[in-house]
Chains A and B, each alone.
Chain A
Amino acid sequence: MTAATLFQPRRSSKILRNVGFVALPLLVLVWSLADLTLGRELLEWIPYLASGFAMNILIALCAMVLGTLVGVLFGILELVPYRLLRYPVVAYVQIFRNAPHLVLIFATTYIFPFEIVVFGNYLPFPDWVKAVIGLAIPASAYIAEITRGAILSIPTTQWEAAKGLGFSRNQTLRRIILPQCLRRSLPPWMNVAASITMGTALASLVGVHELLHAATDASTAVRRLDFTVIAYIVVMAAFFTLCYPIARLTRRLERRFNAA
């Protein structure tokens, strides 16, 4: 076996992997150039689809920020020595980690009121905020488990050494343990981020104006089969070009951390 035959498949798979970044958008572009009437139609609808996708990104960002804040807190609380505090948090994590995202989005949409009263003023409570909460709940449960796992992966001797140096439990956690957890929990956190980003498509089922909803609107308005096909390919391309780089980066970080 020569070096050339050894490296041949490797190089081709590398090209393939990098093609992944542009393959779907390229397909859309080539098709709309090949059939110009279709291309013109699509061009007209692109701003509408883009406004939908902006909503996806907004929901994903808000849900991840909220989910991370709550999740890290709950991950720490899962390890506190007081049972009264620990058991409810463990129950929360177990229930919502096992619950389908769609069910939670339905729950928040139908249980929360459509407006809230603050000091006599009626504030609207829009659907997309409910979807944010519906996705932040499972995100917080996953992130709580990730945080707990990361804290437990730090050797106990570090806690003992910090105690010996006069750090309190709180100080040890904040200044010694958590900074190390940051690095360890980054790849799984990115997996959750990708999964939540893809979960935002579920918000279309409760009437939030996001990308999938926009594509359905567009395809019912245009009523052309080839337009329907290309509209859904655009949806796939949008999610793919957002999530594929995250997945690639996650794998690279995992490999690097495993090697270290």
Chain B
Amino acid sequence: MKIISSYSIKGGVGKTALAVNLAFAFREAGHRTLLIDLDPQGAASFYFRVGSAEKFKMRDARSMAEGLRRNIRESDFPGLDIIPSNLGYRHFDILLDGMAKSRKQFRKVLEEFRPDYDVIILDCPPNITLLSENVFRASDAILVPVVPTVLSRRTFEQLTCFFKDEELPCKALRPFFSMVQKRNKMHREIMGELPESYPGFLTTVIPFSADVEKMGLHRMPLLAYSHACEAARAYRALCDEIFSTLNPQP
């Protein structure tokens, strides 16, 4: 089982679109996939037409796993399940804080799902909290959408500094360019420079696309309603790239 998180401190960079479409692409490739919407805004849940999760008590890792399990909802696409968002998830931090090894507990929770799923995708809230630290330590890959703008570059640099300072697994950090406009000169320049400083950059690029923005109208992943558009192809390519990165051929 591989755990992949979609993370960004900055909002509006295509983080949820990534989580939703990547989950669909993994399911399309035959992997049993679970998408956990950890972002209290619940956009990923909205895209799958799934209501909020029910509240549950969280005393320890086991009861947390049990509560999450009870909230699993099958999406309209067989092979892809969702644990929808709940405002109660903001209490994760308090709960985790009270536990021993409070920075590694979430991995233990997710391990409970190993028999049922091949891939877990986490749509994370855009902040740095104890839950975020747990997600970082639990993930096999932390995908960070970077829009090739000055501000996004600065945010990404802040994140890498934080990883180094806190001795988090920098190798798991896998940035990629998101919402790219090829005709934009600044985009092209930043895309030329940034990967030189950060060799972990994935090669797949997600283009800016009006089709992606229509996800809110369709309330389903882009790959489900616009199978062959450029952005859909890019998400599928990203899925392949991540899969081969996590399962290197001998």
| A, B bound | no
Residues of B within 8 A of A (CB): none
